[in-house]
Amino acid sequence: MTQEDFNNISTQIEGFVYDLIDKASFDLRAKVEQIDESTILVSFEGFDLPLLLGHNAELLDALQYISRRAFADAVADGLQIDFDAGGYRNQRRQELELMAQKAADRVRLSKSSFTFDPMNAQDRRIIHLALMEERGVRTESEGDGPLRRVKVLPA
């Protein structure tokens, strides 16, 4: 993808996101920026930010999913479209990494497995990556669809 193509798709995504905001009557502003050669980050600010972040950011995730589906051809070509609001993603990643460490410590100490509550693919990936290099534990996913969860087991 050339820089011109990237700029074009970025402009299209910005228009799409503002249409979503307008049709949903949200009091939000979106900032679309290029993070690297294959990633676009859409960041939100505004009065309705708590709506996006409620219930583990389900609405933020839903908007991200809709946008990725709308631009499926570009996503299939390697474009990553990420949504964030008020630094939520970074804070959530830190929280999940801490939870993963605590689970690993517990598994090492008790020698029995620990299973997280169901979580989305993005959160499961963070757990797996956080424990990938940890000695004495391993991770696997189990379950299907929205009930899929991460299990931490003794190595």
**Amino acid letter, 106:** R
**Other beta carbons within 10 Å of 119:** 19
pLDDT digits (tens, 9 = 90+) for 70-83: 999 999 999 999 99
Whether this prediction's pTM lies above 0.75 is answered by yes
Please check whether residues 62 and 44 belong to one and the same domain.
Answer: yes
Write the pLDDT tens digit of every residue in 25-65: 999 999 999 999 899 999 999 999 999 999 889 999 999 99
| Among candidate residues 34, 56, 86, the one where a domain is terminated | 86
Residue type, 22: D
Instruction: Find the domain containing 125 and state its range.
Output: 90-154
Helix (H) or strand (E) segment spanning residue 86: none
Same domain, residue pair 7 and 75: yes
Task: Give residue 146's pLDDT.
Answer: 87
